[in-house]
Amino acid sequence: MTAYGEFRSQYQGALEDSRLIFYGIRYILENYLHRRWTEDDVEKADMFFSTHLAPAAGTYRYPKDLFLKFIRENDGYFPVKLEALPEGSCIHAHVPVFQLTTQGDFAPLCTFMEVLLTMVWYPSAVATLSRRCRDRIEEAFDKSVETGRDSPLLGSRLHDFGFRGCTGVEQSVLGGVAHLINFDGSDTLSAAYYAQFVLNGGEPVASSIPATEHSVMTAWPSERAAIDNMIDQYGDGLFACVMDSFDYAKALGKVLPAVAQHKLDRGGYMILRPDSGDPTEAVLMALQAAEKVFGVDVNAKGYKVPRGCGVIQGDGIKYERLASMLEAVLEAGYSAEAVAFGMGGGLLQKVNRDTMSFATKLSHVVYEDGTPADIMKAPLNAISKSSLPGVLAVKRVDGVPTAFPADSGEVAPEENLLRTVYDCRPVQVNWDKFTQLRRRVNDEWHALPTQADVASASLKAKVKDCLAKLRKRQTD
């Protein structure tokens, strides 16, 4: 049996662009598929399944014999071959991202790992959302920043504030690292630590800055005292202060001018953080206050850049709002380099499997008598849920990853982007360091057209043939 996984749609909210980032297979592979089953595991599973069905439904049919067989014959490793695209591949919807194959007695276990492997939807969705936000920020930088998207500031313009909104530490690692493919700003330290020491040989991949939060601001006798303390501690570098603990307008209009000279004497860069109210209005208020208190310079593209002061909006940010806020900032005459964004739940929580409609489907079987059959799902009332038939391969055609039938003879082994990462036991995989992956994703993303036909002519012909056979079989 053979099954494969694909994203059936582009990222929601980007209707004219079907690009996405495939990411997360390594974590699942190393933390779950590399695990060796034991007979004790099987006995516990057997006990569980014996009680899982309602009494009237009979006994849950769990293939205990097959699990015991591979434990004894395959050292406890799950008997499946897994092929996958390179981690961080930039592709379009409908390109197969992994393929599972099982053989012999173990063939019925082909889709047993479906639920687990399907979970690549989560880091892939976060990576794609983060990249789409970067697209909007790059466009604003090209318009309003002297060095455009080549500015070293761009990598810090979307900061991960999502740790507290996650369901657990593991989710924070998966989603937080996916975001770090596109940006280097993160307060999700679990992800930054994992990326640095597990994925990048100890070299750092993320950063943050000293910042107050409301407990700090309200614990001091006054907001001015709290900010003066921050300036004393961190005023010669980057630091951020939340400004809405009591009265945001008063904090900008009275407290900020009161600490201005202290801040100027220290010489650092102060970032104002609104955290309530209308996000666009709050950002513009902060920019106007920064201009009034510290002054601005007008860059070569005609946009204002506050001197030694900027704004980060970390409340209520989502993809659509980020784009509209950037438009408002530029319309008000300010450069995009003066504004950064923080995303929390909107980055790591407000995605789901339907965000890019991930699915794993059986595509090929060989019956006990040796007869092969390509199979597919093709519901007439939901064509978008149709799957692909046959054993599949993926190769680049004019730079675009494109799906082919593996038996077409059109894809040489060295061209196939579906590469073996597990074969009934762990195999040696030369994973890119995270910094290399980050550069590759950036290059691939910009090289990929926003839309492309990703099914080869031979695959389209196989789909047509398979559909005809299926419809005939249904009426026989």
Q: Indicate the annotated binding residues for beta-nicotinamide D-ribonucleotide.
A: 187, 273-275, 314-315, 345, 353
Helical ranges in 267-382 per DSSP H: 279-294, 319-331, 345-348
Residue (of 271, 332, 299, 336) closest to 134 by Cα position: 336
Residue (of 441, 424, 402) closest to 6 by Cα position: 402
| Parallel, antiparallel or unpaired: strands 89-92 and 19-22 | antiparallel
CB count within 10 Å of CB 206 equals 26
The CB-based long-range contact list for 405-409 (8 Å cut-off, 24+ gap) reads 405/456, 405/458, 405/459, 405/462, 408/456, 408/458, 408/459
Alpha-carbon span 212 to 316, nearest angstrom: 19
Backbone CA torsion sign across 301, 302, 306, 310: negative
Chain-centre distance for alpha carbon 297: 36
Q: Which amino acids are annotated as binding site for diphosphate, given as ranges? A: 164, 214, 273
Backbone CA torsion sign across 288, 290, 291, 297: negative
Residue (of 270, 279, 339, 281) closest to 315 by Cα position: 279
Q: Which amino acids are annotated as binding site, given as ranges? A: 164, 187, 214, 273-275, 314-315, 345, 353
| CA dist list (Å): 11 to 85, 171, 235 | 19, 20, 41
Name the phi and psi angles at 296, rounded to 5: -135, 160
Please name the amino acid found at residue 441: V
The pair of three-digit structure tokens given for residue 375, joined into one six-digit string: 């199979």
* DSSP, res 431: P
* DSSP, res 387: -
Beta bridge partners of 20: 91
Measured CA angle at 301 (ends 156, 329), to 5 deg: 55
Residue (of 465, 390, 462) closest to 96 by Cα position: 390
Beta bridge partners of 432: none
Residue 168's SS3 state is coil
Alpha-carbon span 167 to 232, nearest angstrom: 37
